[in-house]
A and B are shown apart, each in its own frame.
Chain A
């Protein structure tokens, strides 16, 4: 069974631009979560989607948004990019968003904002 896939793997943007990242969960997984990882802040939770609905949201500004499609694939969008948005963006999928369910991570998208 294929793992979580994320595209693109690397991205370079300039301040003020916007970016869209894509995540395809493991087949059969219906819950998708997004995280931002930076050396200074570690792994921080962005949001979680299940059945095309956002279930939880972390403490990020409204410039960060996401959505989930009927096939469970998910996208996240960052508008008006800032230098501090440079990070590894990780997507994780699980069968259902239950507390006991393990999340499996994709390889991430490395975003660099110049």
Chain B
């Protein structure tokens, strides 16, 4: 089995930066994904990390440290539309297991 932990909720103001941490314990690690899910909608793919380091994609960046079982998603220049749940997911032994999600609330 595996544990995937991420904070339940984070609040930040428009234009700010927010960092969502994700820690995991797993065997057979094959990669870590971040998804965004707006209320009532399906999750949409944001980023993928399999090697240590930072992956940057526009306003979103994701970091992975396999030795520490740690990842973070960095959201820069926050916009109101970024208010959503952010899901950390770990692939191991062919299965994709999700964390409970972090609800990000962006305030004006």
In Å, the complex CA distance between A99 and B90 comes to: 10
Task: Check: A20 CB closer than 8 A to any chain B CB.
Answer: no
In Å, the complex CA distance between A32 and B42 comes to: 15
Task: Check: A14 CB closer than 8 A to any chain B CB.
Answer: no
Number of A-B contacts (CB under 8 A): 52
> How many A residues touch the partner, as a band?
20 to 34
Give residues 14-65 of A contacting B (CB, 8 Å).
Answer: 33, 35, 42-45, 48, 55-56, 58
In Å, the complex CA distance between A92 and B80 comes to: 27
Q: Known contacts A42-B100, A100-B48; decide if A56 and B94 are in contact (CB<8 Å).
A: yes
Taking chain A's interface residues, is the majority helix, strand, or loop, or is none over half, making it mixed?
strand
A103 partner, pick from B30, B41, B45, beta carbons under 8 A: B45
Task: Check: B96 CB closer than 8 A to any chain A CB.
Answer: yes
| Interface pair A43/B87, CB less than 8 Å apart | yes
Shortest Cβ gap from A29 to chain B (Å): 13
Q: Please count how many residues in chain B sit with their CB below 8 Å of the partner chain's CB atoms.
A: 23
Shortest Cβ gap from B40 to chain A (Å): 9
Besides A42-B87, A99-B50, A102-B45, 5 other A-B contacts (C-beta < 8 A): A42-B100, A43-B98, A90-B43, A99-B30, A104-B45
Interface residues of B (CB under 8 A from A): 30-31, 33, 35, 41-45, 48, 50, 87, 89, 91, 93-101
For A55, A97, A102, A104, the residue with the greatest tally of chain B CB atoms inside 10 Å of its CB is A102
| Interface pair A33/B100, CB less than 8 Å apart | no
| Interface pair B41/A99, CB less than 8 Å apart | no
Taking chain B's interface residues, is the majority helix, strand, or loop, or is none over half, making it mixed?
strand
Task: Check: A106 CB closer than 8 A to any chain B CB.
Answer: yes
Shortest Cβ gap from B50 to chain A (Å): 6
| Interface pair B98/A42, CB less than 8 Å apart | yes
| Interface pair A102/B33, CB less than 8 Å apart | yes
Closest A residue, CB atoms, query B92: A99
For A33, A103, A106, the residue with the greatest tally of chain B CB atoms inside 10 Å of its CB is A103
| Interface pair B48/A45, CB less than 8 Å apart | no
A33 partner, pick from B30, B35, B96, B101, beta carbons under 8 A: B96
In Å, the complex CA distance between A5 and B87 comes to: 21
